[in-house]
Structure 1
Amino acid sequence: MTSEASLNALAPPVFDGINYQVWVVRMEAYLDASDLWEAVSEEYEVPPLSDNPTMAQIKLHNERRQRKSKAKASLFAAVSSTIFTRIMTLKTANEIWNFLKKEYDGNDKVFAA
């Protein structure tokens, strides 16, 4: 198994509303190792392709679009079903990340056992 395949087999850490700071560190590492952190940390648009794009432009466009989709799917997979229902209508990984930070960073439940 290649190192990329073994990383893809690794599931993201699941956040259940407790120990947010620990989850953030683990999730950032997971997203970075999956080459998805940029899609989460930066809000960027993938511009539509121009008329008669080159193969390189098409490839880059598809990669950026796919990276954004994978980042969003990773965040959906990395939260409990209760938290998922609160974020499922958000459109981008960046929106989801910022919502979770606003809701849970500094929350009293963070260090609960």
Structure 2
Amino acid sequence: MSEDKSLIKVPKFQGYYHHWSELMSNMLRVKGLWGMVERGFVEPLDWSLLNENKKTMLNEARIQDCQVKHYLFQALNRSVFEQILDRSTSKIIWDSMKKKYSGNEKVKKALRNNLKREFEITEMRRGETVENYFGRINAIANKLRSNGEEMKDNVIVEKILRTLTD
């Protein structure tokens, strides 16, 4: 496996925020830049008050912030990019994307309820292979997990065993 981390492909945002944010945060962690999204970067008002060590650290932080912004800009298409009003730091861009696309708690709760219902009523179809049925159940369970629902493996296995056809 190559040691060159620069060849990692930037995940494109295609409207599925949770999937994209997981891929993007993982990529930024691999590159050692995730802290910039978590902490953010604040430009000092007066650089003349800083000693050389602080100036060096702030310059490195500014460079890291620009790197994260570069990756974020690569990931977004023009229409999404233009909807972000404040693009001054990577943290502001990330938080803006999260606010706009991740949905609020009421929406997530409704989605979880719909997915729980779908999980409960899903049964194996006549002529369906166990592999396909297992895949359908796992897809629903993964959607539930990605929306904050705890789905234990034994619940999934019990559901599959309970609803298998002859």
* TM-score of Structure 1 vs Structure 2, range by shorter chain: 0.7 to 0.9
Gaps of 5+ in 2: 108-142, 144-166
> Residue type of the partner of 2:79?
T
Output the aligned Cα RMSD. Answer: 2.6
Deviation at 1:25, TM superposition (A): 0.6
2:80 to 76, 83, 105: 83
Could you list the runs of 4 or more consecutive aligned residues of structure 1 that deviate by over 6 angstroms after TM superposition? none
Deviation at 1:81, TM superposition (A): 2.1
Matched length: 104
> Residue type of the partner of 1:26?
L
Closer/same/farther in 2, CA of residues 42 and 23 from structure 1, 3 Å limit: same
1:101 to 98, 102, 112: 98
- Larger RCO (CA within 8 A; separation ≥ 6): 1
Q: Which has the higher helix share?
A: 2
2:41 to 44, 47, 71: 44
Q: Contact 1:46/1:64 (CA < 8 Å) preserved in 2?
A: no
TM-score (ref. length: structure 1): 0.74
Give the Cα–Cα distance (whole angstroms) in 2 for the partners of residues 88 and 70 of structure 1: 19
Match of 2:132 in 1: none
Match of 1:12 in 2: 10
Give the Cα–Cα distance (whole angstroms) in 2 for the partners of residues 9 and 34 of structure 1: 11
Q: Contact 1:76/1:88 (CA < 8 Å) preserved in 2?
A: no
Rg comparison, structure with higher value:
2
TM-score (ref. length: structure 2): 0.53
